[in-house]
Amino acid sequence: MKEMNIEATIDNIPTVTAWVDEQLEALDCPMKAQMQIDIAIDELFSNIARYAYNPETGPATVRVEVTENPLAVVITFIDKGVPYDPLKKEDPNTKLPIEERDEGGLGIYMVKKTMDEVTYSYKDGQNILTIKKNI
């Protein structure tokens, strides 16, 4: 397991993405899976940066683990911000025209659709959101 501790700011999204991409490249991760993971990182880390400590900023931890059988990457995002489970938000009705949809929720919906597993827990004063992608 590898871990990065970083300030949860929008400006740090490229740093987090590059760091995770290094781990993925070492696994010969297919480009399609890497792109899906990069989009998930952008969505999840930006949510932490925008909402967890609002209007302040605070720390975030990103962990990358590799599992075998099947080969998968597990990425965990941890923050000590306001408790919030994004998985409880109702999926948007993608059949409605964009102007008729409620605002928000599309990003986490995309994460749920492209990852093989997405889980959330709140433990010891921390939001813990984990994504798993089989590669």
Note down pLDDT in tens along the chain; length 135 residues. Answer: 999 999 999 999 999 999 999 999 999 999 999 999 999 999 999 999 999 999 999 999 999 999 999 999 999 999 999 999 999 977 766 666 766 666 666 789 899 999 999 999 999 999 999 999 999
Give the residue extent of every domain in the chain: 2-134
56: burial class by Cβ within 10 Å (0-12, 13-18, 19+)? exposed
What secondary structure, in 3-state letters, does 47-65 show? HHHHHHCCCCCCEEEEEEE
Instruction: Decide: 114 and 39 in contact? Cβ < 8 Å.
Output: yes
In CATH, which of 3.40.50.80, 3.40.50.800, 3.30.565.10, 3.90.1150.10 is domain 2-134?
A: 3.30.565.10
Instruction: Decide: 109 and 43 in contact? Cβ < 8 Å.
Output: no
